[in-house]
């Protein structure tokens, strides 16, 4: 179980997070949503120690501030939002970096398996820099998957921290990746993601954390958090859930997507 208590973060002297607490359980997906500037990414970065923060973050009861980096690396993997990579690495070489941190030596072909899982089979020899934004994002995801391949390890559940994992993906790949994450959670792993897409959040989240102005506005199952009232307050515009627009407008929901093959 991952818990954070009373997290405060100041950036350039201005408070960005003003006391956020949350608890995430393995076996489910926790999704952090909120308008721009509400502190979603800051919260994730605080949880992964990318930003200094006040407040305690515990993994299965241990304060992560006192856990050595190499041990944490065997328990959690972090997918950054956008990644520029120095030097011309191939896709395979990037994915292998995840294996390096995994602890136990992986079976051969693990990197290729990971690539296949994110729909990049056969991309091993391509240069990372020459990929599209979506392909780069999925390459990074494969790397992260390699790092914590088995959702449950000897020390307990493993965790994926994802910052907008599907932001550069088309709807087909969004579904593919989200299914993958849901499957990871279903097999006992923990997943914490920052998302923009409220529909995908509604579909996949087990717990939604709605942030606004650096505070947690609501936390709970999607049906309880994604309501007209809370969303309208958080996003500053009148929103209505579960309401079809009047005809003849076209609208499309990922709920109805079915993966082929």
Partner 1 sequence: MAVADLAGARLRPVAGDRDRRARRVMLALIAVLGAVSVLSLGTGASGTSLWAALGKLARGEEIGLREEVILFDIRLPRLAMGAMVGAALAVSGAVMQGLFRNPLADPGLVGVGAGAGLGAICAIVLGAALPFALGDTLGQYLVPVAAFFGGWATTILLYRLSTSRGRTSVAVMLLGGIALGALAGALSGILIYMADDAQLRDLTFWGLGSLAGATWDKVLVAGPLIALALAATPFLARALNALALGEGPAAHLGIAVQRMKNISILTVAAATGAAVAVSGGIGFVGIVVPHLLRLITGPDHRYLLVNSALLGAALLIAADMIARTVIAPAELPIGIVTATLGGPFFLWILLRNRSLLDL
Residues of the shown chain interacting with partner 1 in the complex, contacts defined by CB under 8 A: 48-50, 69-74, 76-78, 80, 83-94, 97-98, 100-101, 124-127, 129, 147
β partners of residue 156: 153
Least Å distance, CB 125 to partner 1, is 4
How many Cα atoms are found within 13 Å in the side-chain-facing hemisphere of 56? 8
Q: What backbone torsions phi and psi does residue 115 show, to the nearest 5 degrees? A: -65, -40
- The C-alpha atoms of residue 116 and residue 227 are separated, in whole angstroms, by 37
Task: Give the residue with the Cβ less far from partner 1, 3 or 90.
Answer: 90
Cβ distance to partner 1 smaller for residue 94 or 194: 94
CB of 111 to partner 1, least distance (A): 9
Backbone angles phi, psi at 245, to 5 degrees: -70, 155
What would the DSSP string read from start to end of 15-35?
EEEEEEEEEE-TTSEEEEE-S
Shortest distance (Å) from residue 108 CB to partner 1: 11
- 191 and 69 Cβ atoms separated by less than 8 Å: no
Contact criterion met (CB below 8 Å) for 180 and 187: no
Shortest separation between residue 124's beta carbon and partner 1, angstroms: 4
In the complex, least distance from residue 145 CB atom to partner 1, rounded to whole angstroms: 13
Q: Which is nearer to partner 1, 21 or 49 (CB)?
A: 49
Residue among 30 and 41 whose Cβ is closer to partner 1: 41
Q: Nearest-CA neighbor of 100 among 46, 144, 163?
A: 144
**In the complex with partner 1, which residue's Cβ is closer, 70 or 251?**
70
């Amino acid at each position: 179980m991952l818990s954070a208590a009373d997290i405060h973060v100041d950036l350039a002297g201005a408070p960005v997070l003003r006391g956020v607490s949350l608890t995430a359980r393995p076996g489910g997906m926790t999704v952090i949503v909120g308008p721009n500037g509400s502190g979603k990414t800051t919260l994730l970065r605080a949880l992964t120690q990318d930003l200094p923060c006040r407040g305690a973050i515990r993994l299965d009861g241990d304060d992560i501030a006192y856990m050595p980096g190499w041990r944490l690396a065997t328990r959690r993997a972090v997918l950054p939002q956008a990644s520029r990579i120095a030097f011309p690495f191939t896709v395979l070489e990037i994915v292998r970096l995840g294996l390096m941190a995994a602890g136990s030596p992986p079976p051969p072909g693990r990197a290729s398996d990971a690539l296949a899982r994110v729909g990049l089979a056969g991309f091993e020899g391509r240069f990372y820099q020459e990929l599209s934004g979506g392909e780069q994002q999925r390459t990074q995801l494969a790397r992260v998957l390699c790092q914590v391949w088995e959702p449950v390890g000897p020390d307990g559940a493993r965790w994926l921290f994802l910052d907008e994992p599907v932001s550069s993906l088309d709807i087909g790949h969004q579904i593919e990746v989200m299914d993958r994450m849901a499957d990871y959670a279903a097999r006992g792993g923990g997943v914490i993601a920052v998302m923009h897409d409220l529909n995908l959040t509604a579909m996949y989240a087990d717990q939604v954390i709605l942030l606004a102005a650096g505070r947690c506005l609501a936390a709970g199952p999607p049906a309880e958090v994604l309501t007209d009232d809370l969303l309208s307050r958080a996003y500053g515009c009148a929103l209505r859930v579960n309401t079809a627009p009047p005809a003849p407008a076209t609208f499309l929901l990922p709920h109805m997507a079915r993966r082929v093959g």
